[in-house]
Amino acid sequence: MELTDDDSFDPTPKLKSSPVPISFISFNRDDKNCIRCDDIYTEISAGYPDRQRYCKKCLLGYLTNITDKNIYLDVYIFTRNLECNEHEISRTKEPQNIQECCRNCLEILCFKQIPNHYYRIFFVNKNDNLINNVIISEKNCKLCGKAFHKTYDGFVLCSDCYLISSEYTESTLSKKPIPIIYLPWWHNLFNCQACFSKLKFTSDCQKYCENCLIFYTGCRYCLTTNVIFGVTNQSKCKKCKRVSSIIFDIEKFRSGNSDLDDFLVNLRLEIHNRLEITRFTDKIKNIDKYFSPNALFNLIYSLFRDNRAEILMEWIPYSQFTNVKEIAKGGFGIIYQATWLDGSINNEKVHYSLEMRERRNNETVILKKFNNSQGISKHFLDELKSNQHCYVLNRHIIRTYGFTKDPKFGDYILVMQYASEGDLHNILREKFTKITCDKNKLAILRQISEGLETIHKLEFIHRDFHSGNILSNLSNGKRHQWQIGDLGLGHTNSIFRFTSPGRDLEQFNQAEIKRKELINLKELGPEFNGKTHPSAIYTSRPLRSFISRCSSYFSKGNDYNSIELELDIDIKRYLKFKIYSPSLHNLNSNDSNTISSNILGTKRNIEELEIDSYGNSSIY
């Protein structure tokens, strides 16, 4: 079997293009009602859990309009063993096409032009008509008579009667060549085989993946499908040469800023670059007598078999948001809470090919608007990139769904996951004394450390890590409850090192002097805690203060922060060497003793955590 891009190529040479549209089957195998008359589809009994369906009423109407003897459908027909006085042909005569069959007792056994994903003997009833009359007994191709000599017990197509071709065309988005694969069958899947998100149906013969930008256009005159890996304006059937315009709202990828548009397109190109199209075409060249159509086509997505393609960021029109209300304001901009009408694509893991990720309608989200961001800043792009790369690797990073634009002021806005439980800082304010279970404390530490590990594996630095940026969201499940947010200050090590060599130099030098003083006083430094583990950054010692801080004498609101735990330094020796704070140098001994007594009196005993944070053990 050869791959060809010849324009005269016929993908189904033994079949004719139908003179009228074949409208009695759906382009979505999950449909239960006819797309034309709304009658309930007749379901072919075999093939669980992937059944073929057709509308008998529309099929009979189709046959009424066909008056010739040409073969338009590759179909197996089952005639019930009933007395029928209106047979138009003798029961002893084998019908050559569906038009010759009796309309009264006609029953479809199998459409060969609609491959079934699970047509394997071990999935269906051994007594089923399809198994007995097609799967097992099919020794020869029904169209050309070629012997199969099958060693495969599933649904197959003849390699001489079903031919695949391909070519390249220019993308209207990236202006780069994109591949098109011309399938000789009706590809009626409802989910993307790369990311498993639900396909968006734009007509009765067009659909596409909003996440991966993979388009499917079907021809209802030939029951063929074009698969386009990217955005283009039109699609042409290889058999009948009919041209159809691609239905796609290209404005969903036009934010008004070329840098942002390129960012979105390049994310999709990363998925396309992981598709095994070359492997697919090489396999086609070596096919002999028959092939399993779905098994063959799924070679393209083999790299996504265990790890589905990630759900990517998107441009979201501001009209999609309702109930917008301000909840916080800072130097960078304003935080809003809003309802996203369509909602994000669910990014939960899927394990079976019949599963799909759907949108969460009316989802509560966070809108993070940057001040004076009419012109896209490097800060905004950095936050987009750091969020996308970090979230793909681990779920302990707050998810950024995409971005939108304030229509009134023109500011760009990040659309982010809403953490329903709030941040760790406020949770500890309200519930610190209630967190007594060691397992709960360890779970918090573990998930925070996993989030940090994710950032560092990608060679990013958070640079603004504090309890206010540790968020709790139970909608992700307890295993992924704690997430790290606000990655806008994250930079790769190399970028930070070479683009800002003199930034904050004075503050750095002051901190370095103080660090050396503490080391000389043997109050700071890993050498005073014994040999450290290479992964000590992920141990509980540097993180434990987030969940074990006591009241500070500076706080009038019974805050949980304690300077002694913040710096991990013995407060008595700290005061002894007069380096605690410039304001303490003038305190008399009575004042110092009073402060020290108050602090130590409110400190919780860290030993109750029962965490070995001084040895070489690390918590992951």
Structural domains in the chain plus CATH codes: 165-304 (no CATH), 313-418 (3.30.200.20)
Q: How far is CA 139 from CA 150, 153, 159, 345, 612, in A?
A: 7, 11, 14, 45, 69
Buried b (16+ CB within 10 A) or exposed e, 119-128: bbeebbeeeb
427 Cα distance to chain centroid? 30
Using CB atoms within 10 Å of the CB of residue 408, give its burial: 0 to 12 exposed, 13 to 18 middle, 19+ buried: exposed
Least confident segment among 124-128, 275-279, 502-506: 124-128
Higher pLDDT, 569 or 452: 452
Which amino acid, 246? Answer: I
Residue 503 tokens, joined:
């930034």
Higher pLDDT, 86 or 598: 86
The pLDDT of residue 565 is above 90? no
Best-predicted range by mean pLDDT among 41-50, 117-126, 498-507, 528-537? Answer: 41-50
Q: Using one digit for the tens of pLDDT, what is the confidence trace for 454-504?
A: 778 777 777 677 777 888 887 767 777 888 877 654 444 433 333 344 555
The pLDDT of residue 564 is above 60? no
CA trace torsion 580, 582, 585, 587 (10° rounding): -90
End-to-end Cα spacing for the chain: 52
Least confident segment among 278-282, 321-325, 615-619: 615-619
CA trace torsion 259, 260, 263, 268 (10° rounding): -130
Residue 143 tokens, joined:
């169209």
How high is the pLDDT of residue 194? 92
CA distance 347 to 150: 40
Higher pLDDT, 426 or 339: 339
Least confident segment among 173-177, 376-380, 381-385, 477-481: 376-380
Residue 466 DSSP label: S
Least confident segment among 42-56, 253-267, 329-343: 42-56
Residue 219's nearest CA partner among 404, 424, 22 is 22
Least confident segment among 243-247, 260-264, 522-526: 522-526
What backbone torsions phi and psi does residue 141 show, to the nearest 5 degrees? -70, 130
- Across all residues in the chain, what is the average pLDDT? 75
How high is the pLDDT of residue 203? 96
Mean pLDDT of 350-377: 78
Q: Check the CA dihedral 477-480-485-491 and report its sign.
A: negative
3-state secondary structure of 617: coil
| Helices 378-393 + 258-272 axis angle, to 10 | 20
Mean pLDDT of 307-316: 87
Half-sphere exposure of residue 36, counting CA atoms within 13 Å on the CB side? Answer: 17
Helix/strand/coil (H, E, C) string of 188-209?
A: CCCECCCCCEECEEEECCEEEC
Q: What is the pTM of this model?
A: 0.75
How high is the pLDDT of residue 560? 47
Q: Using one digit for the tens of pLDDT, what is the confidence trace for 229-246?
A: 999 999 999 999 999 999
